[in-house]
Amino acid sequence: MSGIFSRVTHIGVHASTPPLDAKYIVLLNSSILVVFAISFSSNLGTIAMGLNTPLAYISLGYQGSILMLILLVAVGRLTMARSLFVLLSILFVATNAFLEGKDIAFHLYMLPVILLSYFLFPPKEQNIAIAFVVAGLAIFTGLEFWFLNHDSILPIEAPDAVIRTSKMTIYVGLGVMVAGFGYYIRSTYLRAEESLEAERTRSDALLLNILPAEIAARLKNRETYIADRFDEAAILFADLVNFTVVADRLPPESVVALLNEIFSEFDDAIAALGLEKIKTVGDAYFVAGGLPAEDPDGLRKIAELAITMQSIMRQKYSDQFQIRIGIHFGPVVAGVIGKNKFVYDLWGDSVNLASRMESHGIPGEIQVSPVVREVLGNRFQFESRGSLEIKGKGAMETFLLKGRLD
């Protein structure tokens, strides 16, 4: 039975139907079926008790009419189907209430019709919904005033017990409708909360994949400008030598797969050391230590990362290309720039010098500035390259990081 109900409620929903539109279609079909079931079962009781039999035939006409509206849904005439369903329901309730009078209290069914009008129409059709709500309230109010001085139009020739049973049926029907609306509202609210929480989780994960956790938290707290100075930042630049030559011989998907494989291994090493990947540009890799949370051990971690990256390349990719790495240690400015596709980036002379250490370096080696040698000299092994002419700096002695000291 539930399978049949589900199939009927999904009439008009296709694979290409947007989820929001599908929700309104299912609600319309479900409302038609529920109202039909309540009205038809109540009508059978009315006929069985011989209570206002002419109204029973009016009810049958209403029930048949709303059931036929599903055909309009099936052919995509959704606005017409929604409008006719509410209009027929308002007219049916008003007619029955007017003819039966206040003793049966049939006009109370106008309240769930008014409530249903708010939910049946999507946002783009809210004007139609409001029009039906106003009409329903006006008719309900008019009936209340009418009942002050008028009795039923049709005589109710039935024992009091039958009338009480009829009223009880109406109250039970109202209760079922209210419970149904309550369940729908609650389930919709809970689904919206779950969807919102899932979307928030996805957004947070995406933000954390773009920005450091500390910076993401500051942005979420509506901090407008993020700009910090770090006096002791460790900067690493790495470049895959001859990668372009190799890439020219490979299909695009192989190039991306290879670069992703290498950089993913670098990413794992960064995560293990607690460093911050700033960005990649082509086959170049940019990492920082000691920020955005200050870390006095940041330079040592950068040196460890460089050795790990060098080891990965030598063990797995030495037959294809080598890596060239440069490191410097000094002050930088860090911040988030841009409105769209924003990025956490670093600026300053220290960044430029670290880049020069890489570009003036030797394939397969890790070249560092004098300050790096000075700070790490008692923990790592270095080899002097002598004096080099560094662009923008002039002559400078540089060193090759050869490994850890035992």
Give mean pLDDT, residues 113-128: 89
User: Higher model confidence: residue 159 or residue 234?
Assistant: 234
CA distance readout (Å), 341 to 215, 324, 344: 15, 29, 10
Give mean pLDDT, residues 329-334: 90
Q: Which two tokens stand for residue 359?
A: 């570009």
pLDDT tens column, 62-116: 888 888 998 998 898 999 999 999 999 999 888 888 887 777 777 888 888 888 8
Give mean pLDDT, residues 212-222: 73
pLDDT tens column, 309-324: 999 988 888 777 889 9
Q: Is there a single domain that holds both residue 168 and residue 317?
A: no
Q: How far apart are CA 321 and CA 262, in angstroms?
A: 12
- Model confidence at 157, pLDDT cuts 50, 70, 90, reads low
- Model confidence at 208, pLDDT cuts 50, 70, 90, reads low
- Residue 341: partners with Cβ closer than 8 Å, 6 or more residues away: none
pLDDT tens column, 33-64: 888 887 787 777 666 655 556 777 788 888 88
205, 224, 241: which is the final residue of a domain?
205
Q: Residue 303: its pLDDT value, please?
A: 92
Q: Is there a single domain that holds both residue 178 and residue 262?
A: no
Q: Is there a single domain that holds both residue 79 and residue 124?
A: yes
Backbone φ, ψ for residue 156 (5° rounding) = -100, 100
pLDDT at 236 over 90: yes
Q: Residue 159: its pLDDT value, please?
A: 58
Q: On the CB side of 367, how many CA atoms lie within 13 Å of its CA?
A: 26
CATH number of the domain that 258 lies in? Answer: 3.30.70.1230
Q: Residue 172: its pLDDT value, please?
A: 76
Q: How far apart are CA 25 and CA 19, in angstroms?
A: 10
| C-beta atoms surrounding 20 within 10 Å | 9
CA distance readout (Å), 167 to 102, 335, 364, 405: 10, 71, 91, 93
Give mean pLDDT, residues 2-20: 80
Comparing 158-162, 235-239, 287-291, the range with the smallest average pLDDT is: 158-162
Q: Residue 48: its pLDDT value, please?
A: 62
pLDDT at 147 over 90: no
181, 205, 229: which is the final residue of a domain?
205
Q: Is there a single domain that holds both residue 171 and residue 264?
A: no
pLDDT at 132 over 90: yes
Give mean pLDDT, residues 137-154: 82
Q: Residue 139: its pLDDT value, please?
A: 92
User: Higher model confidence: residue 80 or residue 215?
Assistant: 80
Q: Is there a single domain that holds both residue 185 and residue 218?
A: no
- In one-letter notation, the amino acid at residue 140 is F
Give mean pLDDT, residues 315-343: 83
Q: Residue 269: its pLDDT value, please?
A: 92
205, 239, 268: which is the final residue of a domain?
205
Q: Is there a single domain that holds both residue 400 and residue 254?
A: yes
Q: Is there a single domain that holds both residue 182 and residue 225?
A: no
Name the domain count of the chain: 2
Q: Is there a single domain that holds both residue 193 and residue 225?
A: no
Q: Is there a single domain that holds both residue 199 and residue 282?
A: no
pLDDT at 327 over 90: yes
Q: Residue 53: its pLDDT value, please?
A: 63
The boundaries of the domain holding residue 260 are 214-404
Q: Is there a single domain that holds both residue 361 and residue 232?
A: yes
3-state SS class at 325: strand
- Model confidence at 190, pLDDT cuts 50, 70, 90, reads confident
**Please, what sign has the CA dihedral across residues 221, 223, 226, 231?**
negative
Q: Is there a single domain that holds both residue 256 and residue 196?
A: no
